[in-house]
Structure 1
Amino acid sequence: MMGKNKALLAAMVFSVIIGLSFMFVKISLSYEGQLLILAQRFTFACLGLVIFLIIRPINLRLNRNEVMIVLLISLFYPIIFFSSQILGLDQTTVTEAGIIQAIAPAVTVLLASIFLKETVRKMQGTGIILSIAGVVYLQVMNGSGGYNFHLIGNLLIILSILATAVWQVMSRRATRTIKPIQITIYILLIGFIFFNAVYFISGGSFGEYTSVLAEMPYLGSILFLGVLSTFGTSLLTIYAVSKLPVIQVSVFNNVATLITILSGVLILNEPFYYYHVIGAIVIIMGVILVNSNKNTIRKAKMAQKEQS
């Protein structure tokens, strides 16, 4: 029971951090380009990781199969996820990204049912369709009435959601043989190497890399994104899915959605139209249906026990 409570707390904390991360990405984009932000984000994430390893040394030894699994996970998270997220936020608003983020539980449940054989009822299937319909409605309304059209940006946000769902499902399976902290360490190192290499190969300079850190709003955003949103949520998410069914963990994405929308409207003063409310209601109704069956978690746990 204690382990379950810790996992639930971890899921709640990472949802709050993820919800705020959209706002901090948007703030950082007002200072620098995507490549530098991603490179510095993972640099600070690795600095946090080094401090963690000094305090608590970890055995990092993996066999060849485990290394391949970690490399595959890294393709979706961090590479695809962070690339599509920051490119998407550069072309849409935090508010719309937050609303679209609400379909994440439905996508995760769908993938968990396919790859982990976690039970999905008919009502959950209806909820998945309803959530997707809400996103489609937002895109249709964005393209009419003279509103700003953010199709490309929103499609990239959807791609980041798919990458998140795949990462959670793969991590759930991987933690049967690999410790969550080991997965976290390796995916952060891979992200650090990949994004910094891309930045410098594409012509980035060390002078620009360091000079922008003198801007306090930017430095604060990068510290939050690197230490808390990258290192912190990676560890918390993998820990949560190692202790709980993916379906149960996905419910906490609703917290992230609410915080993202509120930060966009209240802090960044982004416009909030009537169709945002309608789209959010439709998506949330779908999410409620996805998680409405009281037997869902029990059945998912039974399936987990049968597999183990």
Structure 2
Amino acid sequence: MPIGHILLAVSVAAIYGLAFVAIRIGVDEIPPLLLTGYRYFFAALPLVFFVPVPKIAWRWPIAFGVMQGAVMFGLLFMSIAFGLPPGLASVVVQMQVFFTIVFAAIFMKESVRPMQALGAITALVGIVAIGVGRANIAPILPFVLCIAAAAAWGIANMIAKIMPPTEPLPFVAWSSLAAPLPLFLASMALEGTRFGLPDQMPSLPVIGSIVFLAWPTTVYAFTAWVFLLRSHSAAKVTPFALLIPVFGLSGAAIAFGEELDPLSIVGIVLIFTGLSINVFGKRTGRRLRLLFGRPG
């Protein structure tokens, strides 16, 4: 990869990781579903006035926007609002990789390679370790909500996988427009808010968090990631996703002094190991077969 593309990939991982800090800043003041609605409202507007409508059936941007924007991120914002540390959330939600593999195997009949299964089992053990550790020090609900968010992300990945190809920027803009309405309605029903309106004017840090979540995170990072995937093989691009929790954990430690219990640290190591096996396992297995399969 050219150095410019490497720096682009690192910037995407950094933005995605630091977004968890922005979420925490926002949900400390604004109800999580309402905040998620703001994220997508301001990601879509005014962008939809400057980009063309995607040249695919409307059901695709609507389905993706509702599943990823309203369901996945709504659950993730709720998990952080209810007490899951943002750095830890940045690790747990990466279970979306394995939910995607499972859903692809079930609904698209894709085969699961042995290394993928090993990676998933390793990460699952890590999730159990974190769950046990969290149960000893805090309510388990935020952790469960984050797992549900990872599952919803896996479903959104399935939608993106089966839909017709389209230009990424128009798709981001118009799919984002599908999320605010269900989020504002859910916020009215569950959080007691007025439709799309906060109880008071948000503070400057919260306004900054909304801007960061709407533009650098939703518009720039997603579009740049799709560009990288179109320019290089997935094997070259996807390892950079492992940097997202690194930035998430580092940012949360600096911003909030986030500390992790020993079981959570063990769980994080196991999840990273599982993700690494999933990303690098195929190439490692091929090299081992070549090494040990050669005649003496």
Aligned to 2:138: 148
Structure 1's 206 and 152: CA in aligned 2 closer, same or farther, altered over 3 A? closer
* Percent of pairs with identical residues: 19
Q: TM-score, normalised by structure 1?
A: 0.77
- Distance in 2 (alpha carbons) for counterparts of 1:230 and 1:143: 32
Aligned to 1:79: 70
Aligned to 2:19: 21
Aligned to 1:59: 52
Name the SS for the 1:103 alignment partner. helix
- Distance in 2 (alpha carbons) for counterparts of 1:9 and 1:93: 28
Aligned residue type for 1:17: I
Between stretches 151-160 and 229-238, larger displacement belongs to: 229-238
Aligned residue type for 1:108: T
Q: Residue 89 in 1 paired to residue 77 in 2?
A: no
Aligned residue type for 1:45: A
Of 149, 159, 173, 1:170 maps to 159
- Distance in 1 (alpha carbons) for counterparts of 2:114 and 2:201: 52
Q: Residue 36 in 1 paired to residue 34 in 2?
A: yes
Instruction: Report the alpha carbon displacement of residue 229 of structure 1 after superposing the two structures with TM.
Output: 1.8
Instruction: Report the alpha carbon displacement of residue 240 of structure 1 after superposing the two structures with TM.
Output: 4.5
- Distance in 2 (alpha carbons) for counterparts of 1:169 and 1:12: 25
Of 248, 252, 261, 1:273 maps to 261
Deviation string 1:51-97 (CA, Å, 9 cap, x unpaired) is xx54xxx431645xx22222222231111111101111112111321
Q: TM-score, normalised by structure 2?
A: 0.80
Instruction: Report the alpha carbon displacement of residue 275 of structure 1 after superposing the two structures with TM.
Output: 1.8
Instruction: Report the alpha carbon displacement of residue 280 of structure 1 after superposing the two structures with TM.
Output: 1.3
Gaps (5+ residues) in structure 1?
Answer: 299-308
Gaps (5+ residues) in structure 2?
Answer: 287-296
Instruction: Report the alpha carbon displacement of residue 169 of structure 1 after superposing the two structures with TM.
Output: 3.5
Report 1:123-202 matches (<5 A).
123-144=115-136, 147-149=137-139, 151-174=140-163, 176-199=164-187
- Distance in 1 (alpha carbons) for counterparts of 2:183 and 2:8: 27
Deviation string 1:241-265 (CA, Å, 9 cap, x unpaired) is 5556667654333211111111222
Aligned to 2:43: 45
Aligned residue type for 1:187: S
Aligned to 2:217: 229
Of 114, 120, 126, 1:122 maps to 114
Name the SS for the 1:177 alignment partner. coil
Report 1:107-118 matches (<5 A).
107-112=99-104
Deviation string 1:190-225 (CA, Å, 9 cap, x unpaired) is 12343345556854177747x523x21111111111
Q: Residue 204 in 1 paired to residue 194 in 2?
A: yes
RMSD of aligned alpha carbons: 3.2
- Distance in 1 (alpha carbons) for counterparts of 2:196 and 2:53: 30
Aligned residue type for 1:184: V
Structure 1's 130 and 257: CA in aligned 2 closer, same or farther, altered over 3 A? same
Aligned residue type for 2:165: T
| Residue-pair matches, total | 282
Aligned partners of 2:74 and 2:183 also within 8 Å: no
Aligned partners of 1:15 and 1:255 also within 8 Å: yes
Aligned to 1:306: none
